[in-house]
Amino acid sequence: MIELKHLEAGYPGRTVLEDVTLALRPGKVLALLGPNGCGKSTLLRTALGLLPRTGGEILFDGAPIESLSPRQIAQRAAYLPQSRAVPNITALRMVLHGRFPYLTYPRRYGKEDYAMARRALEWAGAAELEEEFLPALSGGQRQRVYLAMALAQDTEMILMDEPTAFLDVRRQLEVMATARRLASEGRGVVLVLHDLCLALRGADKAAVLSRGRLAAVGTPEEIYRSGVLDEAFGVTLRRFQTESGWQYYFGG
């Protein structure tokens, strides 16, 4: 579990997050919601030690983040950023990068590393791309490969920043299905999502950021009923019941 206690973070001359207290728990899918610029990406990067914090605490299973090396953090939590470089290597080789936290220099992959990488490609719906070179792939195909790289890291926690970007509707649903499967295995999954409907239908809990502060945390039902999303996004979110569950839409 990753615990953020009264977290403050930002950039020189600009505070982005203020007094954020939030638990990222194993076995749960947490959707991190909020308008552009509210601090969602900053929260993920700070939680993993990729950005310095200016206040508060970050604990990994009760241990202060300062007591862990970058390698130890990477063995506990994987991170899928919004964008990545596009090296001229195959998809399989890219996914194998997710095994780096478990390798010593010089890096030599073993059978278990290849097995995990191929399993991750299957989870991400990208098995057929194994031998394809990244520059030749579409944006959606690359996103599936990057998702596989995060899965190949085989960590208790997986933090994904807009993992459904560039994906069509079918692949977006597959990402949420993968997140749910990982949670059922006891892993914690945190997803930054702009698709409110996908988040409310698929996540166990949602955390809403607004102007750098945590506006609300709760189940999708609690978040919907609170009206916090309407206030944060300046929209009117409505829903109706179907045989497959609630369907959400934006009303006037």
pLDDT, mean over the chain: 94
* Predicted pLDDT of residue 207: 98
* Predicted pLDDT of residue 105: 80
Statement: residue 252 has pLDDT above 80 = no
Residues whose CB is less than 8 angstroms from the CB of residue 228 and which lie 6 or more positions away in sequence, other chains included: 208, 210, 215, 216
For range 173-183, the mean pLDDT: 93
Model confidence pLDDT, tens digit, residues 47-87: 999 999 999 999 999 999 999 999 999 999 999 998 888 99
DSSP states of 82-96 as a string? S-----SSBHHHHHH
Give the Å distances, CA to CA, from 81 to 54, 69, 78, 97, 146. 22, 20, 10, 14, 9
Statement: residue 101 has pLDDT above 90 = yes
Q: CA 145, 148, 153: angle at the middle one, nearest 5?
A: 135
23, 17 in Cβ contact below 8 A?
A: no
Please name which of 5, 1, 2 lies closest in space to residue 214, comparing C-alpha atoms.
5
154, 177 in Cβ contact below 8 A?
A: no
Please name which of 172, 240, 236 lies closest in space to residue 31, comparing C-alpha atoms.
172
Model confidence pLDDT, tens digit, residues 188-226: 999 999 999 999 999 999 999 999 999 999 999 999 999
The pTM of this model reads 0.92
Model confidence pLDDT, tens digit, residues 132-167: 999 999 999 999 999 999 999 999 999 999 999 888
